[in-house]
Amino acid sequence: MNTILSKKTTIRLAIIWLVVLTFSFLGQQLTQALTPLHGALLFILLLSTIVYASFGVVKEADELAHKLGEPYGTLILTLSIVAIEVILISAVLLGPGESAEIAKDSIFSVMMIIMNLVIGICLLFGGLKYGEQEYNAQGTMTYLSMIIMLSGIALLLPNFIQGAGNGIFSNVQAIGIATLVSIMYACFLAYQMKDYRHLYLQPQRGHMEILYQNRQQNALTSETGAEQAISKKEIVLRSILLIAMILPIVLLSHYMATVVDYGIKTANLPPLLGGILIAVIVFTPESMTAVKAALNNEFQRAINLCHGAFVSTVGLTVPAVLIIGLLTGKTVALGLTATETILFVITLLLSLMTFLGKRTSPILGIMHIILFALFILLVFNP
């Protein structure tokens, strides 16, 4: 077995923690009285450090994924990535500026990136390499049902109720929505992890035999010797490394939020770019993992990563920001604009059409990619 704390991992930790220590002592001075050049340099430094740390998070989470198997491994990776997103959104929300829509912008951007760009690339390039790829239709439909339910409640409902006005939940509604979304997400995780785990495994020999795959894997695991046993020590150490990679992102997120807010205002860029930037920073490593899975003919893993990421994004981000808003008095506006609502509905309908069968179709991948391109067009030219 390779050394857990490899030379590459040690260098990664040293670099990102050096940046953290620098900002711990000089952060206030560095982010005061920003100029365009100064802000650009800080942005590059913070962005590269956070992305570098994010790839470290993905690496350690992926190692745990191989040790624990599906769907536990993918869940660890997804939760780690979404935790980073919640941290970045919270940093912007709690920042000095008014960023009431940052959570909505980030969630919607994640939807367009994950469910259109990344899924589209997986469908297209996986299809070009293998033709029609198999996946577990029943599990995928459960993901899409959760996406419709959670995102519909969080992003569509605020515009069609009285609430506090302007797509904002009242305090009582915010408490109720945060509670209901949390319960629904917790139930889904329990459903996914226990009796229905087989619905999220890659089909191998036939659809009916998937029902017995989980039992067969458990039986094989129990019969193997010490070589196949999962090392509890390694899992603990890798979990510590995972935290050591996530913590710098937490500590640097406030400074990143300050610089991004300054850059958007100074360059007079669309406010939605803040949410897009958070989504890109957070989900680039996981997106690469999903595309790699599709190219390895593991399309169910790609679905678990993409759809699971968006379900976790809504299931964790919405309760978190609503609670932060209630505790701090910050305004949290989750209602979509009219244009976003149309793109939202088209994305959901196209996703349903894409995964109604049991095999992928590359042409549908092109449709998803074009829909993402339309989203980017409308960001800059609404």
> Taking the chain, what is the end-to-end CA distance rounded to the nearest angstrom?
54
Token output for 157: 């409902």
Q: Where are the alpha helices (DSSP H) in the chain?
A: 7-30, 36-68, 72-93, 102-112, 119-130, 137-151, 171-193, 210-223, 232-266, 272-295, 299-328, 338-354, 362-380
Tell me the three state secondary structure of residue 136: coil
Top CATH class of 7-380 equals mainly alpha
Phi and psi, residue 266, nearest 5°: -65, -45
Q: What's the rounded Cα separation, in Å, for the pair 6 and 13?
A: 11
Could you read off the pLDDT tens digit of each residue along the chain, which spans 382 residues?
Answer: 446 677 888 898 999 999 999 988 888 788 777 888 888 899 899 889 988 888 887 778 777 777 776 667 667 777 777 777 788 788 777 766 667 888 899 899 999 999 999 999 999 999 999 988 999 989 899 999 999 999 999 999 999 998 888 889 999 999 999 999 999 999 998 888 877 778 878 887 544 444 444 444 444 444 444 444 557 777 788 888 888 888 888 788 778 878 887 888 888 888 888 888 888 877 777 788 889 889 999 899 899 889 988 998 899 899 999 999 999 888 899 999 999 999 999 999 999 999 988 888 899 999 999 999 999 999 989 8
Token output for 349: 């309908």
Q: What's the rounded Cα separation, in Å, for the pair 272 and 292?
A: 29
Q: What's the rounded Cα separation, in Å, for the pair 256 and 16?
A: 14
Query: How much is the pTM?
Result: 0.80
